[in-house]
Amino acid sequence: MKPRVSIIIPTFNELLATLERSLKSIFEQSFIDFECIVIDESTDSDRADFCKQLCSQDSRFIYVNPQKRIGLAASLNLALQMARADWVARFDSDDICMPDRIAQQVEFLSKNKDVDVLGGAIEIVDDSLNRVGFKFYPEAHNEIIRKSHFINPLAHPTVMFRRNTVLDSGGYDPRFKYGEDLELWLRLINKNAKFANLDKILIQYRQSTLSRPDINWRFNFKARIKNFRPHDLIRRVSGIAIIGCWAFLPRKIQESIYKVLILRRK
């Protein structure tokens, strides 16, 4: 009998304590009808062995160690092909799931059957798990579409989506070493997929710096150009221009703006 949810987790040379904390947050989910597919590309044999041993502690976990390095997007596509559930939940091997993360998303999706992609809010923490702040995302579909022209409107490791919706669109684009999630959302928007975000904290998200590397913004720009359509032309052009300007700002200025305009503190 297939599970209701497939959780897919890519990992690469993760610190042992970090990986253990992350996977245990999946072990301890209040929602139990899931499988968890871990694609481990670690080149350090001790870390790979540790990950394999952790996965062996729970029969719902499936450990996969590709013979050669295939990259993040291809790892996600491999997990998608293996997934048996209709719904797929993304997660990262350095973050921590709230105990009822999967349960909350399944409950929402059971009541909102037109939604294809569902994300949620995050608590940003540093490497020592000290709270940095909270980040909330637009909740309603139309607001998500509007904001998508200027920002990434979903937190990738919080997302749960219909497996067939993503597979039918071609999955993740392996040419995107960064911004593979934004590229997918923009492509799904063009295909009229329905989006939503919960206003609840679903994960603790490790982030050592509040600014992104320059290469991230180059792929952000590339994703928008690739998925450019004349519909909503003014917003799309404005978004590309703003992203282009933002990428040239010094990182300290980016961090200051991020703290003031985006982060919330409770």
> Exposed, middle or buried, 114 (CB in 10 Å: 0-12/13-18/19+)?
exposed
Helical (H) or strand (E) element with 111: helix 101-111
> Exposed, middle or buried, 64 (CB in 10 Å: 0-12/13-18/19+)?
middle
* SS3 at position 201: strand
Mean pLDDT of 95-124: 98
Q: With 70 as the cut, is the pLDDT of residue 262 above it?
A: no
Residue 14: both structure tokens together: 């993760």
pLDDT tens digits, 25-56: 999 999 999 999 999 999 999 999 999 999 99
Does 247 map to a domain? yes
Residue 237 Rama label (left phi>0; alpha psi -120 to 50; beta)? alpha
Does 178 map to a domain? yes
Does 138 map to a domain? yes
**In this structure, what CATH number is given to the domain that contains residue 206?**
3.90.550.10
What percent of the chain lies above the pLDDT cut of 70? Answer: 94
CA dihedral (167, 169, 175, 181) positive or negative = negative
Domains in the chain, number: 1
- Residues 36 and 29: their CA atoms lie apart, in Å, by 12
CB atoms < 10 A from the CB of 115, how many? 18
Q: How many alpha carbons fall within 13 Å on the CB side of residue 133? A: 14
Residues 157 and 203 sit within 8 Å (Cβ to Cβ): yes
pLDDT of residue 266: 62
First to last CA, the chain: 43
pLDDT tens digits, 111-154: 999 999 999 999 999 989 999 999 999 999 999 999 998 899 99
- Residues 184 and 90: their CA atoms lie apart, in Å, by 13
Does 266 map to a domain? no
Q: With 90 as the cut, is the pLDDT of residue 207 above it?
A: no
pLDDT category at 70 given cuts 50, 70, 90 is very high
- Residues 20 and 219: their CA atoms lie apart, in Å, by 31
Residue 21 sits in which domain range?
A: 5-261
CB atoms < 10 A from the CB of 215, how many? 12
Give the amino acid at 211. Answer: S
Residues 174 and 74 sit within 8 Å (Cβ to Cβ): yes
* SS3 at position 126: coil
* SS3 at position 95: coil
pLDDT of residue 229: 77
Does 95 map to a domain? yes
Residues 198 and 139 sit within 8 Å (Cβ to Cβ): yes
Q: With 80 as the cut, is the pLDDT of residue 96 above it?
A: yes
